[in-house]
Amino acid sequence: MNAVLGLDVGGTTTKALVVATDGTVLHEERRPTAHATDPLPGLAAELDRLTALAADRGAAVVGAGVVTPGLIEESTGTVRYASNLGWRDLPLRAGLQERVAVPVTTGHDVRAAGLAEQLLGAATGVADVLLLTIGTGIASALVSGGRALTGGTGAAGEVGHAPVRPGGELCPCGQRGCLEVYASGAGVARRYGARTGTAFSAAEVVGRLGSDAVAREVWADATSALADALVTATLLLDPSVVVLGGGLTAAGADLLDPVRAGLAAGLTWRPPPPVHLTGLGPLAGCLGAAALAMTHAGLGDHLAGWARGRRPVPTGTG
């Protein structure tokens, strides 16, 4: 049996999957991201450990995909800048490939998640998918015809600083009225805290919607800003399906219903695309990384089978 590795290195958590080439998930784990001065030796050791672990389960690893946030030069696999990881001009792909035997490919976490949603998530088989991930920050990916749009400098999808409320509240980036000010996890928590003096997380604010008028007001501002951003993105990109991912999707219908209503209300002369919550949860990026490894290994035509062959992902095995 052959397998690939998927590694999703986030600012807080690193997630890893071992996936058989038929789509069966053999192993899943999550652990806090190690913030080393030189991250390459640690990541290489991680890939070696996962390769050995796969071998213990009878699987030969034929490739590894590693995805990260930030600005990634797709042609070279160099991470130009990833603020949450403190990386600048890190030759991720070349540096890992020097250190490990399995073929390594690299990519952007949100674009990989978009591919995974299209492959086996909430937008399976749809050619034009817009994924909006709403976590601490906000980013997006457009998959068009199975290809994730990267842009001229690898920075496509950074919609978090779109000026949805021109002249609005100040963003840590220095601008006013950015989408993240109102609708990111950090923004929701900060805006609630500024009004009440209480430090609640965005999830806690959502938990108070039934009983707390300030929570309702802050959340309405968030979903309204998200809907406006989706109106603009829909007009520009014309996605067939919009998928919402990231931590704030735990809000469920409290997120989905007002965003759907706002998007429909903002589009007068064209129907809105359907909006779904992620079908893959926090593993979307990791599954996308594994899918990149499949393609890199020349096994891209096996990916169509993943949606059919995918087994339930084990949890808590890390």
* Residues lying near a copy of itself in the complex (CB under 8 A): 126-128, 140, 142, 144, 149-166, 173-175, 228, 231-233, 235-241, 266-270, 273
Query: Under a CB-based contact definition with an 8 Å cutoff, are residues 168 and 181 in contact?
Result: yes
DSSP for residue 187? H
Which tokens hold the place of 271?
Answer: 């129907």
Nearer to a copy of itself, 168 or 193 (CB): 168
Query: Under a CB-based contact definition with an 8 Å cutoff, are residues 154 and 72 in contact?
Result: yes
Q: How far is the CB of 128 from a copy of itself (least distance, A)?
A: 4
Nearer to a copy of itself, 267 or 299 (CB): 267
Q: How far is the CB of 227 from a copy of itself (least distance, A)?
A: 9
Closest to 158 (Cα-Cα) out of 92, 112, 111: 111
Nearer to a copy of itself, 40 or 220 (CB): 220
Q: How far is the CB of 18 from a copy of itself (least distance, A)?
A: 33
Cβ neighbour number for residue 241 with a 10 Å cutoff: 21
Q: How far is the CB of 158 from a copy of itself (least distance, A)?
A: 5
Closest to 21 (Cα-Cα) out of 281, 289, 288, 309: 309
- The residue assigned the tokens 């603009």 is 232
Residue 317 CA to residue 267 CA, distance in Å, equals: 45
Nearer to a copy of itself, 194 or 235 (CB): 235
The number of residues in the chain equals: 318
Pairing of strands 78-82, 87-90: antiparallel
Nearer to a copy of itself, 112 or 164 (CB): 164
Q: How far is the CB of 156 from a copy of itself (least distance, A)?
A: 4
Nearer to a copy of itself, 44 or 222 (CB): 222
Nearer to a copy of itself, 144 or 196 (CB): 144
Sort 199 into a burial class: Cβ within 10 Å, 0-12 / 13-18 / 19+.
Answer: exposed
Query: Under a CB-based contact definition with an 8 Å cutoff, are residues 61 and 53 in contact?
Result: no
Q: How far is the CB of 161 from a copy of itself (least distance, A)?
A: 6
Nearer to a copy of itself, 151 or 300 (CB): 151
Q: How far is the CB of 222 from a copy of itself (least distance, A)?
A: 14
Query: Under a CB-based contact definition with an 8 Å cutoff, are residues 43 and 51 in contact?
Result: no
Residues 6+ apart with CB under 8 A from 11: 33, 69, 84, 85, 136
Q: How far is the CB of 72 from a copy of itself (least distance, A)?
A: 12
Q: Phi and psi dihedrals of 16, rounded to 5?
A: -135, 145
